[in-house]
Chains A and B, each alone.
Chain A
Amino acid sequence: RKEVEQDPGPFNVPEGATVAFNCTYSNSASQSFFWYRQDCRKEPKLLMSVYSSGNEDGRFTAQLNRASQYISLLIRDSKLSDSATYLCVVTAGGYQKVTFGTGTKLQVIP
């Protein structure tokens, strides 16, 4: 089983749609969880941290299920500017070991 697994997509959705991405991780000792976005040939940029209680930032909602070792990201009212690759990131060992998923590509269509 891969350490951090994501559906690579692409997810092609119309503007205004709601889209959800999932991520599973294999290391039960993982401590912190994040969603990053990466535009083509650019560096990853933090989108949001993920907490067990769930957290929301505008149109974005992230959720963590530690029992199932599963992380999700929900994007509501998709914009063209949301088109990017969304990376699930998991850390362990006091943030010293960081594992990226392969990323899920989102294309929002006009």
Chain B
Amino acid sequence: EPEVTQTPSHQVTQMGQEVILRCVPISNHLYFYWYRQILGQKVEFLVSFYNNEISEKSEIFDDQFSVERPDGSNFTLKIRSTKLEDSAMYFCASKGPGRHTQYFGPGTRLTVL
């Protein structure tokens, strides 16, 4: 069964450093999403991406965040200058055309020290 993969599974970084979280969506999917979940809190929508552009983003997704689909298979989330409060689990998801279901990757746990 096809699945969404994410790397790394755990990233530790120093405050102020840039991080790139990587996702490989399911191959024929067209809609891509990033979410975050701070420990003990709810899953929060960050951004959706379709047709090589951002289609929707939340208030959390400020200028420190960017997304890219550099090569037709990877979908990345970049945080330019990490803050302590960026520590969370980051989930990538993808969705096929004409379908409702989003498939989630296993997540990347980001720890900012």
Contact = CB atoms under 8 A, between A and B. Distances in A.
Contacts of A22: none
Interface size class on chain B is 20 to 34
A38 B45 CA distance: 16
A23 interface: no
B96 to A, nearest CB: 11
Interface string B32-49: 010100000111110010
Interface residues of A, number: 22
A43 B33 contact: no
Contact of B45 (A43, A97, A103): A97
B102 interface: yes
A44 B33 contact: no
Interface string B98-112: 001111111100000
A60 to B, nearest CB: 15
Contacts of B106: 42-43
Contacts of A17: none
B56 A96 contact: yes
Nearest to B46: A98
A49 B101 contact: yes
A72 to B, nearest CB: 18
Contacts of A93: 55-56
A1 B45 CA distance: 18
A11 interface: no
